[in-house]
Structure formats: structure tokens, C-alpha cells
Amino acid sequence: MRAFYIGRFQPYHLGHQQVLEQIYQEADEIVIGIGSAQLSHTASDPFTSGERVMMITQSLKRLGKVLYVIPIEDIRRNAVWVPHVCSMSPYFDVVYTNNPYVIRLFEESGFKVKKSPLYQREKFSGTEIRRRMLSNEPWEHLVPIAVVNVIKEIDGVQRLKDVFKNDEFFD
Ligand code: NAP
């Protein structure tokens, strides 16, 4: 069985990792859709789709399972978003998500959807990790070590600070 899981992963963190490890207990292969793939260099979406591909593939490599990581750009028509996703992705049997809007779009297109609540949501949150980066608080313990390495390699914390200043400048 091949599962599909989508998120923005800004950044990929241990809550996502926990969900994916659980999905691997039910699925033989997972397709991870990197949502809003066109976005980067903003305070809420600082990382490019390529950087998010690196974070995810390197974090899940140690599991030794089949994984496809597919960047998927947003489109302006929700009604045809699911066919758009399918056109970019390997075939999948079941969708795992916890977002009611994404659940509705996939169910209306006839897909089987399973709920995948995030692990320790109050602790593992992309918004909280970006806030910590901006205020020089520890964040490294909230993401896999591979993500720490990618963010260091691309000078990601400084990028976030710079784009945040830019957003404030134009407010
Ligand atoms: P998301 O933008 O990644 O997540 C939205 C919020 O839900 C974030 O706070 C996220 O936290 C949280 N979250 C993520 N996974 C969760 C889980 N398993 N349990 C509880 N909370 C969770 O959105 P998404 O639903 O996961 O991904 C949907 C992607 O598809 C987005 O990129 C969206 O733009 C795209 N999309 C596009 C269209 C279109 O183009 N028309 C239509 C539908 C969806 P973290 O920040 O901690 O991950």
C-alpha cells in the first residue's frame, strides 16, 4: 500500500517525523507532497522546496523504506487541486492528513483519507520553531539532526531573520 502525506514543512520537525514513522507501520511506501512548493524566503515560508526535500529525505533515510518526496505548487482552483496533486505524484492508495480542508478535497475526489494528528502539537510546531529561531531560543532539539545540518548549511536562521526584517519593513 502506498500512502500520501502533505504539508508545508517549514521546517520539517520531530512531530512530522513521528507521524511518518507511524504511517510506515501501515504503508509499504510513502509519497510526501511538499505543499506550497513555490514559496520561500518569507517569514512563514523561509525554506525552498529543494531545501525541504533535503530535510525530509535525509531525516527518513535511516528508516530504509521507499520514499518519494514531490514538490507541489499551489494553484488558484481548489476544485482541481487533487487532480493537480495526482498529476505530480506516484499513484497512491490512501491519504493521511489532519487538515479538514485537505480531507474534504480528497474525499470529494473519492480518496480514502486517514487522520494523522501531530505528535505533541504544543511542542512540535513549525510556527513555534520559526519563532524560536527569530528570538535566538534553542530550536535544534525540536527537529531531526539532518534538519539542523541542512539549516546550518544554508544559513537558514539568518535568512529567516533577514526576510522577517523585510516583511516588517513593508508593513
Ligand atoms: P500546512 O500549511 O503544512 O499546515 C497547516 C497547519 O497545520 C500548520 O500549523 C501545521 O503545523 C499543522 N499541521 C500539519 N500537519 C499536521 C498534523 N498531522 N496534525 C495537526 N496539525 C498539523 O498544511 P497541510 O494541510 O499540512 O498541507 C496542505 C498543503 O497543501 C499546503 O501547502 C496548502 O497550501 C496546499 N493546498 C493547496 C491547495 C491549492 O493550491 N488550491 C489546496 C489545498 C491545499 P506545522 O507548521 O508544525 O507543520
> Which residue's CA lies nearest to atom 26 of ligand 1?
7
Q: How many residues does the chain have?
A: 171
Could you give the angle at which helices 126-134 and 156-169 cross, rounded to 10 degrees? 90
Q: To which residue does cell 522546496 refer? A: 49
Residues β-bridged to residue 68:
31
> Which residue's CA lies nearest to atom 43 of ligand 1?
102
Task: Say whether pLDDT at 167 is over 80.
Answer: no
pLDDT score, position 119:
80
- Is 170 a domain residue? no
- Is 83 a domain residue? yes
> Which residue's CA lies nearest to atom 35 of ligand 1?
35
Q: What is the DSSP letter of 141?
A: G
- Residue to mutate, 8, 39, 76, ligand 1, most ligand atoms under 8 Å from C-beta: 8
C-alpha 31 – ligand 1 centre gap (Å) = 15
Confidence of residue 166 (pLDDT cuts 50, 70, 90): confident
Ligand 1 in contact with 118 (CB < 6 A)? Answer: yes
The domain spanning residue 107 has which CATH number? 3.40.50.620
Give the domain extent around 96. 2-164
- Is 19 a domain residue? yes
- Is 43 a domain residue? yes
Q: What is the pLDDT averaged over residues 37-60?
A: 98
Ligand 1 in contact with 44 (CB < 6 A)? Answer: no
pTM over 0.75: yes
Q: What is the rounded CA–CA span in Å between residue 157 and residue 154?
A: 9
Q: Which helix (H) or strand (E) holds 29?
A: strand 29-34
pLDDT score, position 130:
98
Extended beta strands in the chain, E state: 2-7, 29-34, 66-71, 94-97, 112-115
Secondary structure of residue 145 in the 3-state scheme: helix
- Is 135 a domain residue? yes
pLDDT score, position 169:
64
> Which residue's CA lies nearest to atom 37 of ligand 1?
74
Count of structural domains, the chain: 1
- Is 171 a domain residue? no
Give the CB-side neighbour count of residue 69, counting CA atoms within 13 A. Answer: 21
Task: Say whether pLDDT at 13 is over 70.
Answer: yes
**Cβ atoms of residues 6 and 113 within 8 Å:** no
